[in-house]
Amino acid sequence: HMKGAIFDLDGVIVDTAKYHYLAWKALANRLGFEFTEAHNERLKGVSRVESLRILLEIGGIEVDEQTFNEMAESKNKEYVASIAKLQPEEILPGAKAYLQQLRSQGVKIALGSASKNAEFILSKLEIADLFDAVIDGNKVSKAKPDPEVFVSASVALGLDPKDCVVFEDAEAGVQAGKAAGSKVVGIGSPEILREADLVIAGLAELAG
């Protein structure tokens, strides 16, 4: 029986991956190499710092710590400028309806995201009030597939992870949810999200 529902943000509630991609691509181009959508797949669900490490590896570039931090900051500035224009209409199909449905059934709702911009995104989408707790990249130290983010989200809801269902689009996120002891609904392809208890194409399949 589901007492709590914990949602990943990017890829589950909203497609921010396209904005991350444009900002990472611009950085790569400034550094003189191409960064493709296929490359971008490797950054989904991964923290900002780890994303930059992967990007520099793709470009075959080594930098000192200060330059690394400046690059992460400049990417984030560009990303934040683009998500500042996010519209409530960009919520993925069925996501808002499903959140509202769960609330009306008395299910507690948390966000469990790697993003440090999660609160800003929820406010732009005008859905912050649908969440009982928000655990994001500012509140956790261990990245998915570590279960920290989902354990913390369960604790914040006052629930045992076993009574929570995690909704995730990234393989590392599915692993994190399973490691927390929760049931996991994968959003995307069953070939990639093998460890999920159930895989669906999107929350529209559950809403209504």
The pairing of beta strand 133-135 with beta strand 164-168:
unpaired
Residue closest to Mg ion, measured at CB: 11
Give me the least distance between CB of 72 and ligand B16, in Å please: 8
- Picking from 107, 82, 80, the residue whose alpha carbon sits closest to that of residue 167 is 107
Q: Is 92 in the site for ligand B16 (CB under 6 A)?
A: no
Give me the least distance between CB of 1 and ligand B16, in Å please: 26
User: Nearer to ligand B16 by C-beta: 95 or 106?
Assistant: 95
Q: Is 20 in the site for ligand B16 (CB under 6 A)?
A: yes
Of 123-182, binders to ligand B16 (CB under 6 A) are 137, 170
Q: Is 117 in the site for ligand B16 (CB under 6 A)?
A: yes
Residue 145, φ and ψ in degrees, nearest 5: -85, 5
- 132 given a catalytic annotation: no
Residue 51 DSSP class:
H
User: Nearer to ligand B16 by C-beta: 51 or 105?
Assistant: 51
What interhelical angle do 17-30 and 65-83 show, nearest 10? Answer: 140
- DSSP H helices, the chain, are 17-30, 37-41, 48-59, 65-83, 95-104, 118-124, 148-157, 171-180
- 8 given a catalytic annotation: yes
- Tell me the three state secondary structure of residue 135: strand
Q: Which stretch in 38-46, 96-104, 186-194, 195-203 sits in contact with ligand B16 by CB under 6 A?
A: 38-46
User: Nearer to ligand B16 by C-beta: 52 or 107?
Assistant: 52
Catalytic residues: 8, 10
- Known binding-site positions for Mg(2+): 8, 10, 168-169
